Amino acid sequence: MAKPVLSRENIKLNVAIPNKAEAIRFTGQILVQGGYVDAGYIDKMYDREEMATTYMGNYLAIPHGTEDAKKNVFETGISVVTVPEGVDFGDGNIAKILIGIAGKGDEHLEILSNIAIVCSEEENIVKILNATSEEEIMDLFSEVK
Amino acid sequence: MAEATTRARIQRFGSYLSGMIMPNIGAFIAWGLITALFIPDGWTPNEKLATLVGPMITYLLPLLIGFTGGRLVYDFRGGVLGAIATMGVIVGAEIPMFLGAMIMGPLAGFAMKLIDGGFQHRIRPGFEMLYNNFSAGILGAFLAGISVYFVGPLVNGLTNALASGVEVIVDMGLLPLASIIIEPAKILFLNNAINHGILSPLGVEQAADAGKSVLFLLESNPGPGLGVLLAFSVFGKGISKSSAPGAAIIQFLGGIHEIYFPYVLMKPMLLLAVIAGGISGVFTFTLFNAGLVATPSPGSIFALLALTPPGNYPGVILGVLIAAAVSFAIASVVLKTSKAEEEDLSAAANRMQEMKGKKSDATGYLTPQPAAGIVGDAGARNLASDNTQAVQSAPVKTAHDIKKVVFACDAGMGSSAMGASLLRNKFKKAQIDIPVSNTAINQLPADADVVVTHKDLTDRAKAKLPQAEHISVENFMNSPEYDKLAQRLKEQGE
């Protein structure tokens, strides 16, 4: 039985995170605890961040592993963390929404593309940061036309 | 507004020139070092190593410039064509053909671009490789052949014209004015033809009578070049600034004047500096009635002093110093004003963007987007100032040729998927019917026409798929490039 790519347990709201390294660890740890990846995946997430920032713009960062980290992935999953205070992702980029990604196949692409379209509107960013329950986030990310 | 665009054009041309020369300065310095050290008159003569000198300046340096010039216009494919065509120029002329390379390189790249534009989309699937290689081969062979026939006579004609010009001036006794011809001729590598062809024989005659001749000093005075290089050391930017002091040592102490030619070639306004430096130098020499007993070769300050007859030291030394000072002063002004202009220009471009709220096509060309991935941050800043064209140089395709747009990132699992869906969304809204997919860079499909990547990864993507158009984005979520591409495809599609 395949796990859902995104479930309530993968969402953490209003977390205070001091720095980028901690942000990556935190988003990765959710995926480890959910049984999506092994612990080695987090190191690969740091490697990927070294290579090029996963900061995407519009307060959104999507920490994930490198190409060769796919062997550390048991099942495809994503984690969502909101950080209203923001985390410095370097070069003056402040991330407030962190999406941890573990991709094995293409199952997550649909939800990821929803996230992209939702987050490309600044007003939705505000909505996400003001969300008070995990369900709100689930709804926002799944109900795109 | 018209004024601004003319200025922008001149400036783009300038950055084009430096874009051809700058990446190859290392090769110039390597050659300069080898020459200064190992030629018979060098510091530690070595016959075996000195055999490098000729082929390097005749073949290596022009080919590098030709390649770089072609690449600026049409990426690697243009570069290859540029190098082939430059070979024709080299074989056709008897002097090192830097100028020829600077003309033929970009021209050949442009010719390839034109031909590809006309044919590439008509090539049936499966024949692309065949077309790519043979079209480049045939065009290259043609351009190289043409160059062999046209360049030789052209160079000879030019040399003769300059030589007779110098002869007339010398005959009239207006020696300082000879610099107006000599200094530009040096930059075109016609220095030896003029020095050894005219000045030396005349000088030898004079020296036989008077024991010395000022004619030996006209071309060999290292002052003007020194001034330019010092100006770069103080007021230059990026690589040109950091390489200039070393080049000055090779030029002034080692007597290898060729080392400063590229610096002048990339800012032709600097000709004013070397000419004025040359004139004031020669004027000083004649004022002091200074001369040398024979031709100093190479034109190092040591060689000059070794050939200075007793009593002539003040005149020779002063002439060199004054030439350097004048050339330095003018070169500094040239470098400073062009720097200020560049700043003006990018400030103006920024203002325009702010007003429009997004990047417009025109300003996109003025805002450098250096290849940060390869050279690191500090290097990127240098590139930004020295090599504005490099990143903009990749092929840009028309809507007609674009069948497939691919978003790529390292793993193909995150950023590219999001970017692709945003772009797909934009295309859908603009009713553009071109598929957008996403992938890992290592799996880029060979038939992708446009590849979009994060700016840190663009170089890797280019290396993987050089023939595609590459778009570099910084903000995946909200990049002005998406709208630009959508708009471009929509307009051209109609």
Among partner residues A52, A64, A114, which is closest to B457 by beta-carbon distance? A52
pLDDT at B12: 62
Q: What is the pLDDT of residue A19?
A: 87
The answer, yes or no, to whether residue B406 has pLDDT greater than 90, is no
Among the partner residues A51, A66, A116, nearest to B418 by beta-carbon distance: A116
Sign of CA dihedral B285, B286, B290, B292: positive
Is residue A103 within 8 Å of residue A73, measured between CB atoms? yes
Q: In chain A, what is the greatest distance between 2 CA atoms, to the nearest angstrom?
A: 43
**How much is the pLDDT for A78?**
87
Tell me which of B418, B425, B455, B457 to substitute to probe the interface with A (most A C-beta atoms closer than 10 Å).
Answer: B418
Q: Which of A58, A108, A112 sits opposite B477 (nearest CB)?
A: A58
CA nearest to B458 within chain A: A52
Total number of residues shown for chain B: 494
Do the strands B469-473 and A11-12 form a parallel or antiparallel pair, or are they unpaired? unpaired
Q: How far is A73 from chain B (nearest CA, A)?
A: 12
In this prediction, residues B465-487 reach a mean pLDDT of: 79
Q: Within 13 Å and on the Cβ side, how many CA atoms surround A110? A: 8
Compute the average pLDDT of residues A78-93.
Answer: 86
A chain contacts of residue B457, beta-carbon cutoff 8 Å: 51-52
Q: State the average pLDDT for chain B.
A: 79
Tokens matching residue B142? 């043609």
Rounded Cα–Cα distance for residues B271 and B274 (Å): 5
pLDDT in tens, B124-146: 777 777 888 899 999 999 999 99
- What angle in degrees, to the nearest 10, is found between the helix axes of A122-130 and A134-142? 150
Cβ pair A10, A80 in contact under 8 A: yes
Q: How many Å lie between the alpha carbon of A121 and the closest alpha carbon of chain B?
A: 9
Answer whether residue B383 shows pLDDT above 50. no
**Choice between B37 and B372, residue whose per-residue pLDDT is larger:** B37
In whole angstroms, what is the distance from residue B268 CA to residue B335 CA?
11
pTM flag (> 0.80): no
Q: What percent of chain B has pLDDT over 70?
A: 82
Taking alpha carbons only, the member of B79, B147, B130, B68 closest to residue B109 is B79
B426 and B382 in contact (C-beta within 8 Å)?
no
Residue-wise pLDDT tens digits, B16-74? 777 788 788 888 888 888 888 888 877 788 989 989 988 998 899 999 999 999 998 88
Residue B416 Cα, gap to closest chain A Cα (Å): 10
Q: Is A100 on the interface with B (CB under 8 A)?
A: no
Beta bridge partners of A102: A77
* Average pLDDT estimate for B468-488: 79
Residue B9 has pLDDT above 70, yes or no: no
Q: What confidence category does residue B449 fall into, taking pLDDT thresholds of 50, 70 and 90?
A: confident
Q: How many inter-chain contacts (A to B, CB under 8 Å) are there?
A: 85
At B325, the pLDDT band (50, 70, 90 cuts) reads very high
Residues of A in contact with B440 (CB under 8 A): 67
Share of chain B above pLDDT 90, in %: 21
Q: What is the 3-state secondary structure (H, E, C) of chain B?
A: CHHHHHHHHHHHHHHHHHHHHHHHHHHHHHHHHHHHHHCCCCCCCCHHHHCCHHHHHHHHHHHHHHHHHHHHHHHHHHHHHHHHHHHHHHHHCCCCCHHHHHHHHHHHHHHHHHHHHHHHHHCCCCCHHHHHHHHHHHHHHHHHHHHHHHHHHHHHHHHHHHHHHHHHHHHHCCHHHHHHHHHHHHHCCCHHHHHHHHHHHHHHHHHHHHCCECHHHHHHCCHHHHHHHHHHHHHCCHHHHHHHHHHHHHHHCCCCHHHHHHHHHHCHHHHHHHHHHHHHHHHHHHHCCCCECCCCCCCCHHHHHHCCCCCCHHHHHHHHHHHHHHHHHHHHHHHHHHHHHHHHHHHHHHHHHHHHCCCCHHHHHHCCCCCHHHHHHHHHHHHHHHCCHHHHCCCCCCHHHCCCEEEEECCCCCHHHHHHHHHHHHHHHCCCCCCEEEEEHHHCCCCCCEEEEECCCHHHHHHHCCCCEEEEECCCCCCHHHHHHHHHHHHHHC
pLDDT bucket at A59, cuts 50 / 70 / 90 = confident
Backbone φ, ψ for residue B471 (5° rounding) = -115, 130
Closest residue by Cα to residue A78 from A132, A140, A7, A1? A7
pLDDT digits (tens, 9 = 90+) for B70-107: 998 888 899 999 999 999 989 988 777 787 888 889 99
Token representation of residue B105: 């390189």
Residue-level pLDDT at B395: 60
pLDDT of B112 strictly over 70: yes
Backbone angles phi, psi at A79, to 5 degrees: -120, 150
Distance from CA of A88 to the nearest CA of B (A): 16
Q: Is B62 exposed, middle or buried (0-12, 13-18, 19+ CB in 10 A)?
A: buried
Task: Give the nearest partner residue to A62 out of B412, B418, B474, using CB atoms.
Answer: B418
Q: How far apart are CA A110 and CA A117, in angstroms?
A: 11
A79-97: average pLDDT: 86
Is the per-residue pLDDT at B346 higher than 70?
no
pLDDT tens string B254-280: 888 888 888 888 788 899 999 999 999
